[in-house]
Amino acid sequence: MILPDSTELELPDGATGLEAARAIGPKLAEQAVLVRSNGRVQDVRLPLAEGQPIQFLTTRDTSDPDALSVLRHSAAHLLAEAVRRLYPGVKVAIGPPIENGFYYDFQFPEPIREDDLERIEAEIDRELEEGRSWEREEISAAAAKQRFLEENEPYKVELVATAEGPISLYTQGGFTDLCRGPHLQDSAPIKAVKLTSLAGAYWRGDERNTQLTRIYGTAFYSQADLDAHLERLEQAKTRDHRRLGLQLDLFHFDEHSPGSPFWHPKGMTIFNTLEELRRRENRRRGYHEVKTPLIYEKALWVTSGHWDKFRENMFLIPLDDGHEYAIKPMNCPGHMLLFGSALRSYRDLPLRYAEAAPLHRDELAGALHGLTRVRHVTQDDAHIFCTREQIDSELDGTLVYLRYVYGLFGLEPRAELSTRPDNKLGTDEEWDFTEGALIQALDRHEIDYFVGEGEGSFYGPKIDLHMTDVLDRSWQLGTIQLDAQMPARFGLTYMGADNHEHPVFVIHRAYFGSFERFIGILVEHYAGAFPFWLAPVQLRLIPVAENHREAVHALRTRVEADGFRVDVDEREETLGKRVREAEVEKIPFTVVYGDKESDEALAVRERGGEQSTRSLEALLVDFRAEVATIGT
Ligand SMILES: [Zn+2]
Ligand SMILES: [Zn+2]
């Protein structure tokens, strides 16, 4: 072994990190949490590769990302142990460390609520007081399967079936988890654990799978570090879209329709501005706007595969005619029917259908979260039907479009390439082709991405775009999916130039993902201070006194005639209060109109406090320039 100071350490073959640490000193052995070698980290219990440089991470590396990860992942196991004890019958899924914390996914027998986190946290604290140590063992896949079958843990059984390499188990406090590690030696370094929130998560990230409950938390090597972290979160909360949504009068929720926002006039202005943008750009890029039904008979969902894979997230409607119907959770099957309603020739392709219909998904109540997880979803959806030869150019088109859309908002989502899942339809050869086409497209456009192994839809691989909210939760925005399976299930073909029928490919794509989630992300991204073109009220007029009202209303009419959004605050409040409120409402421009003002000289206040005197004409020129930033 070679240590960081270049000294060499003589150890027997197969020596573990812990043995190496002991050879250096007992203190190090006690404090070691990880071994880092050539940029990779491994469990201290594992044998070291021979002749490699190694570095120990210890309990003193309190801000090292790897040292924090192993601590937090260990805390996730404590969480699972606590939940199993408190909720008999619960099923455990997975619990990895993430940026700033960890989570663990569970299937609870009964839904739990945010209030329950306190009780679970207390149980973790109790475990920490008692102390836990982690034991690692390696066993065969068959033995692991048997073990988790006996423990009635179906998710673990499924994970064993797809695990590669040796199967390792980690046990602490009577709880055994299937886990690659690495883990701490014991729980002593975990000085502070905090459970932060609840969310819904699909098993394996596939929305056709069971929805699980995700508990988020974080852990630190010291209470002071946790406190500093919580303080940062508190700051971030002022950007929370749920809070700003109420404060800015954009939307609210009502228990009579959980998970479905009520859009107030101001929120609807944002919604419609995005809708206009969507329509305009679709028109420019050769999409056709269509409208398909909201309710379909069961047979359609069987054909599409949703009945099998997605039924529990669908709102079903039994009707008197003896048939079962469901409200659509996605537009795809309707668009398949539309395409299949006529004979299609190669001359018709590519055919791009766009529709922003309301969709409904039966998310668990515990999983709902503001606008970012709702039951009423409006996707900026489209399906591109094309030939095999057209796939590359159509993917190019979707990626150029994607860059354009996110660029307008200054968003930089992370791209994930989601590859074939275990329950995929179609052959490996077909998936080699569709995955390859997406990879090449990403490469052509020089888009960095990470790979989500097995995270694709059952019908095809996809490029998913992720954004993080103020609570550091990652949400999917857009998606681009390449699909050979669903059109095949619907028997869709086109007539080629050779007079033969050929299979047709479909690209499913959305950029906002859903209007609801996108607006939620935008509220946080801008902290409610929307750019001029998106702001619900672009100009506020404040008459100083009663005798200025007439002039102010004339001004309003004039500015509205140019297509801008104006309101007037003529309440019997002090001038100072009205100006302050315009600021709180984050309105881009405010004009205070008194004796000295005229169309030639307006007292203009910009959001943020900058003041100037401008003529009405000059102000309108500025407004037009602001709007031109998104093109017309
Ligand atoms: Zn683990
Ligand atoms: Zn689709």
Cα(481) to centroid of ligand 2, in Å? 8
Cα(18) to centroid of ligand 1, in Å? 18
Q: Give residue 347's pLDDT band: very low, low, confident or very high (50, 70, 90).
A: very high
pLDDT of residue 64: 92
Strand residues in 328-420 grouped as ranges (E)? 351-355, 358-360, 376-378, 381-386, 414-418
What is the average per-residue pLDDT within 356-365?
A: 89
How far from 315 is each of 82, 179, 362, 381, CA to CA, in Å? 34, 36, 6, 20
Cα(182) to centroid of ligand 1, in Å? 7
Cα(165) to centroid of ligand 1, in Å? 16
Cα(387) to centroid of ligand 2, in Å? 17
Cα(445) to centroid of ligand 1, in Å? 37
Cα(482) to centroid of ligand 2, in Å? 10
Give percent above pLDDT 70 in the chain.
99
Is 332 a known active-site residue? yes
Ramachandran angles phi, psi of 608, nearest 5°: 105, -15
Q: Decide if pLDDT at 434 tops 70.
A: yes
Supply the DSSP string of 574-599, one letter for each residue: -HHHHHHHHHHTT-SEEEEE-TT-BT
Q: Hey, which residues does 87 pair with through a beta bridge?
A: none
Q: Decide if pLDDT at 440 tops 80.
A: yes
Find the ligand nearest to 81 CA.
1
Is 508 a known active-site residue? yes
Asked if 182 and 41 touch (Cβ cutoff 8 Å), the reply is yes
Alpha carbons within 13 angstroms on the beta-carbon side of residue 68 total 18
pLDDT of residue 320: 82
- What is the distance of C-alpha 84 from the center of its chain? 27
Q: Decide if pLDDT at 632 tops 70.
A: no
Find the ligand nearest to 329 CA.
2
Locate 585 and state its tokens: 């409402």
Burial 73-94 (b: 16+ CB within 10 A, else e): bbbbbbbbbbbbbebeebbbbb
Asked if 216 and 103 touch (Cβ cutoff 8 Å), the reply is yes
d(CA 61, CA 41): 14
Q: Decide if pLDDT at 9 tops 90.
A: no
Q: Give residue 529's pLDDT band: very low, low, confident or very high (50, 70, 90).
A: very high
Cα(95) to centroid of ligand 1, in Å? 7
Is 328 a known active-site residue? no
Asked if 82 and 120 touch (Cβ cutoff 8 Å), the reply is yes
d(CA 171, CA 133): 8
Asked if 588 and 619 touch (Cβ cutoff 8 Å), the reply is no
Domain 539-628, CATH number (from 3.40.50.800, 3.20.20.70, 3.90.1570.10, 2.40.10.120) = 3.40.50.800
Q: Which candidate, 309, 357, 312, 306, places its Cα nearest to that of 331?
A: 357
Fold: same for 65-237 and 539-628: no
Length of the chain: 632
Cα(550) to centroid of ligand 1, in Å? 70
Catalytic residue among 211, 379, 481, 538: 379
What is the average per-residue pLDDT within 311-335?
A: 91
Cα(168) to centroid of ligand 1, in Å? 10
pLDDT of residue 503: 96
Collapsed DSSP state (helix, strand, coil) of residue 147: helix
Catalytic residue among 194, 266, 361, 578: 361
Asked if 575 and 544 touch (Cβ cutoff 8 Å), the reply is yes
Is 525 a known active-site residue? no
Cα(178) to centroid of ligand 1, in Å? 7
- What is the distance of C-alpha 563 from the center of its chain? 34
Q: Give residue 470's pLDDT band: very low, low, confident or very high (50, 70, 90).
A: low
pLDDT in tens, 478-502: 999 999 999 999 999 999 999 999 9
Cα(70) to centroid of ligand 1, in Å? 9
Residue whose structure tokens are 């939760």: 473
Q: Give residue 39's pLDDT band: very low, low, confident or very high (50, 70, 90).
A: confident
Catalytic residue among 61, 105, 381, 464: 381
Is 462 a known active-site residue? yes
- Return the H-helix or E-strand segment holding 106: strand 101-107
Q: Give residue 469's pLDDT band: very low, low, confident or very high (50, 70, 90).
A: low
d(CA 442, CA 238): 36
Collapsed DSSP state (helix, strand, coil) of residue 413: coil
User: Quick one: fold of 241-525?
Assistant: BirA Bifunctional Protein; domain 2 (3.30.930)
pLDDT of residue 557: 97
List the single range of 10-19, 58-67, 429-438 with lowest mean pLDDT: 10-19
What residue segments make up the domains of the chain, in order of their start? 17-58, 65-237, 241-525, 539-628
Q: Which candidate, 509, 507, 461, 459, places its Cα nearest to that of 485?
A: 459
Asked if 533 and 627 touch (Cβ cutoff 8 Å), the reply is yes
What is the average per-residue pLDDT within 615-625?
A: 96
Strand residues in 4-64 grouped as ranges (E)? 32-37, 40-42, 55-58
pLDDT in tens, 184-197: 999 999 999 999 99
Collapsed DSSP state (helix, strand, coil) of residue 318: strand
Catalytic residue among 306, 462, 509, 525: 462
Asked if 129 and 112 touch (Cβ cutoff 8 Å), the reply is no
State the burial class of residue 217 (Cβ atoms within 10 Å of its Cβ: 0-12, 13-18, 19+): buried
Q: Decide if pLDDT at 365 tops 80.
A: no
Cα(329) to centroid of ligand 2, in Å? 10
Give percent above pLDDT 90 in the chain.
81
Cα(509) to centroid of ligand 2, in Å? 7
What is the average per-residue pLDDT within 500-507?
A: 97
Q: Is the dihedral of CA 425, 429, 432, 433 positive or negative?
A: negative
Q: Which candidate, 284, 291, 313, 287, places its Cα nearest to that of 301?
A: 313
Asked if 418 and 461 touch (Cβ cutoff 8 Å), the reply is yes
**Strands 449-452 and 414-418, how do they pair?**
parallel
What is the average per-residue pLDDT within 247-256?
A: 94
Is 52 a known active-site residue? no
Cα(61) to centroid of ligand 1, in Å? 20
Strand residues in 511-601 grouped as ranges (E)? 539-543, 566-568, 589-593
Catalytic residue among 31, 77, 266, 332: 332
How far from 569 is each of 579, 602, 607, CA to CA, in Å? 9, 16, 16
Q: Is the dihedral of CA 348, 351, 355, 359 positive or negative?
A: positive
Find the ligand nearest to 385 CA.
2
Give the mean pLDDT of the chain: 93
Catalytic residue among 73, 508, 525, 586: 508
Is 40 a known active-site residue? no
Axis crossing angle, helix 515-525 with helix 265-284, rounded to the nearest 10: 110
- Helices marked H in 176-264 — which ranges? 223-237, 241-247
Find the ligand nearest to 94 CA.
1
Find the ligand nearest to 331 CA.
2
Residue whose structure tokens are 């037009």: 624
Q: Decide if pLDDT at 422 tops 90.
A: no
Find the ligand nearest to 304 CA.
2
Find the ligand nearest to 510 CA.
2
Q: What is the CATH number of domain 65-237?
A: 3.30.980.10
Asked if 353 and 339 touch (Cβ cutoff 8 Å), the reply is yes
What is the average per-residue pLDDT within 598-606?
A: 94
Q: Decide if pLDDT at 389 tops 80.
A: yes
Fill in the amino acid letter for 416: E
How far from 429 is each of 425, 432, 436, 484, CA to CA, in Å? 12, 5, 10, 12
Find the ligand nearest to 182 CA.
1
Q: Which candidate, 201, 232, 237, 239, places its Cα nearest to that of 218?
A: 232
d(CA 158, CA 145): 8
Find the ligand nearest to 181 CA.
1
Cα(567) to centroid of ligand 1, in Å? 56
Residue whose structure tokens are 């006194």: 545
Residue whose structure tokens are 């456009």: 445
Asked if 368 and 257 touch (Cβ cutoff 8 Å), the reply is no
Fill in the amino acid letter for 215: I
Asked if 285 and 351 touch (Cβ cutoff 8 Å), the reply is no
More confident residue, 99 or 260: 260
pLDDT of residue 213: 96
Q: Which candidate, 377, 402, 381, places its Cα nearest to that of 291?
A: 381
Q: Decide if pLDDT at 55 tops 80.
A: yes
Cα(470) to centroid of ligand 2, in Å? 29
Cα(176) to centroid of ligand 1, in Å? 9
Residue 249 CB neighbour total at 10 angstroms: 13
Catalytic residue among 383, 509, 517, 540: 383
pLDDT of residue 471: 61
Q: Which candidate, 416, 397, 491, 502, places its Cα nearest to that of 461?
A: 416
- Return the H-helix or E-strand segment holding 105: strand 101-107
Fill in the amino acid letter for 609: G
pLDDT of residue 301: 94
pLDDT in tens, 127-181: 999 999 999 999 999 999 999 999 999 999 999 998 887 899 999 999 999 999 9
More confident residue, 265 or 54: 265
Find the ligand nearest to 80 CA.
1
